A and B are shown apart, each in its own frame.
Chain A
């Protein structure tokens, strides 16, 4: 049961009473259970006799009721009843006046009834507690089974996605290849309209190629192992901006980089997060004469750090904020801004794998800010 907590760190698994869990909970053999019940009462009886010999009265009640509680807890309801009955008889015969007989003098009657009532109460509490424990354990087992099933289903889905994208690439390559050859071969005999149709076929095939490639790498992300280390975000940001140099050399971009904390995660995945967010910011601020992109961190909750990337670009309407992070979801037309719509979905997936969350705020035609949170090292 130890790995349950490793796999579900946010689920608190109550373990205190499980430590008292003996194998007896699952013992079905009635002989063993009833036998143990009798043995336990016998031990209690022996103890009570010993105390009696040493003139300690009133100890036999706790001793018997303790044995009843133990029996109910470990052996179930049947043996519990046996324990109560046996205790009752022994108590009557050996400890109630007149001793060594089953008669009860009227003076001792209340005492006797108190004993019996007390015994039954203890047994009931123990039974209820035991049922709750059983219920909890069954719930935990079910949780573990469900978790395992979910993991298997997830893995299968990942394999499926991968193999579909992978197998689609070959025929797509052929479509693109032969279309290009056809275009080259027959461009002299095709009229303008036909040439345009040809170009459309090629464009559509290439688009399909990008989608498949994006889907492939997205799916690969789900199957990759995350190697977590302490990551210096400032350094990562600098690297990403340097790599974006090609796309930004003719642009007027003002970069404001705040002090970012060191956080805990997979370096290459986090680099991909920053690359996607920053390249988006660069892309959507293309319409501005002077782009302003700011990266900083805000106060996250407890042990998390929240980083944001803000730009003064095309922005978006908040009513569509829930669509932003969907796979292949786009809020702009292809002719306005290019892209397949996988960037933010990738960001969300990576951040979720790190146990964090993503969110976004935007105002149409003014700008957008994207937030992601990560655990501190």
Chain B
């Protein structure tokens, strides 16, 4: 597949946004990255409502989800996505600072596709982001319907 899937990044810290985007850009994976700054915005985006009501109704190829978010937090977003028929096919990768067993447990219980702890070492971080981007954005076939219009 030579078109790049759209990535939805849900991350509230602007520095983390910048570092992740830089890493993605380095490997030309950042063509279509949408950044939402908290859980509520992410859900609005996915449901095409609020300020996103005019966007084309397409699911992203993957969601990079941070857990510590203001307003609606990451685990709630995950839970809602995986509970919704229309959204639960979207692969979700939790990208977080938390090593906490219970965060991991709950994420997997809700059906997360991958759980990645952001490494402190920048090279490792860049590498992890690159591998995630290549795998989910290029190698993996996104679920059907990601590129078509939904009713």
Contacts and interface: CB of A to CB of B under 8 A. Distances in A.
Nearest to A167: B97
Given A170-B97, A180-B122, A181-B19, 6 more contacts: A166-B98, A166-B100, A173-B118, A173-B125, A181-B22, A220-B99
Interface string A198-217: 00000000100100110010
B98 A173 contact: no
A204 to B, nearest CB: 13
14 contacts: A166-B97, A166-B98, A169-B120, A170-B13, A173-B118, A173-B125, A174-B16, A178-B15, A179-B122, A180-B123, A181-B19, A181-B122, A213-B120, A220-B99
B22 A209 contact: no
B123 to A, nearest CB: 7
Interface residues of A, number: 18
A63 interface: no
A90 interface: no
B7 to A, nearest CB: 19
Nearest to A174: B15
B128 to A, nearest CB: 12
Contacts of A181: 19, 22, 122
B121 A206 contact: yes
Contacts of B125: 173, 177
Nearest to A170: B97
Interface in A213-234: 213, 216, 220
A176 interface: yes
Q: Which 4 A-B pairs have the closest CB atoms?
A: A209-B120, A180-B122, A177-B19, A174-B15
A177 B19 CA distance: 7
Nearest to B123: A180
Interface of A: 166, 169-170, 172-174, 176-181, 206, 209, 212-213, 216, 220
Q: Is the interface of B mostly helix, strand, loop or mixed?
A: loop
A134 B125 CA distance: 64
Interface residues of B, number: 16
Nearest to B96: A170
Interface of B: 13, 15-16, 19, 22, 97-100, 118-123, 125
Given A174-B16, A177-B19, A209 B121 contact: yes
A178 B20 CA distance: 11
A176 B97 CA distance: 14
B130 to A, nearest CB: 14
Nearest to B122: A180
Contact of A174 (B19, B99, B123): B19
B37 to A, nearest CB: 16
Contacts of A178: 15, 19
Contact of B97 (A173, A177, A179): A173
A209 to B, nearest CB: 4
Contacts of B98: 166
A50 to B, nearest CB: 72
B59 to A, nearest CB: 29
B88 to A, nearest CB: 29
A216 B121 contact: no
B76 to A, nearest CB: 20
A128 to B, nearest CB: 55
A73 to B, nearest CB: 53
A176 B99 contact: no
B69 to A, nearest CB: 13
